[in-house]
Structure 1
């Protein structure tokens, strides 16, 4: 089973990398970009075959390691 975890900064948390991306795109002539937020994607290959168990395990992984839940949100997508 495959899963994708998307981690993004919570609204209101400063995002200096997003600001740098926004500025760089403006410098390249893409003036229509009004804002940019940067995040990360983590793709996991899992041995678990039970979808509910896999989702519970991934959420535990996010809470313990993959996301800083004080400043970040995460979403889980299970494929297969």
Structure 2
């Protein structure tokens, strides 16, 4: 089973990398772009066919390693 985990900073957490990207976009002529936030994407393949079990296992991965839940949110997308 394939899964994608999208990790983003929580609202209110400063995002210096996002601000740098926003500034660079402006310098490249992409004016008017604002509110740039950067994040991470993890593509995983997990064994089995039970979507609930896979989601539970991936949630545990996020809580222990993939996301810093103090400052980051995560979303799990599962495809078959």
TM more than 0.5: yes
For 1:34, the equivalent position in structure 2 comes to 34
- After superposition, the C-alpha distances for 1:27-69 in whole angstroms (9 at most, x for unaligned) are 0011120220000000001112111000000001000100000
How do 1:10-25 residues align onto structure 2 when only pairs under 5 Å count? 10-25=10-25
Q: Please, which runs of 5 or more residues in structure 2 have no aligned partner? A: none
TM-score relative to the length of structure 1: 0.97
Question: Secondary structure at the residue paired with 1:17?
Answer: helix
Q: CA RMSD in A?
A: 0.6
TM-score relative to the length of structure 2: 0.97
The separation in 1 between residues aligned to 2:23 and 2:48, in whole angstroms, is: 43
User: How many residue pairs get matched?
Assistant: 80
Runs of 4+ in 1 over 2 A off after TM superposition: none
Q: Please, which runs of 5 or more residues in structure 1 have no aligned partner? A: none
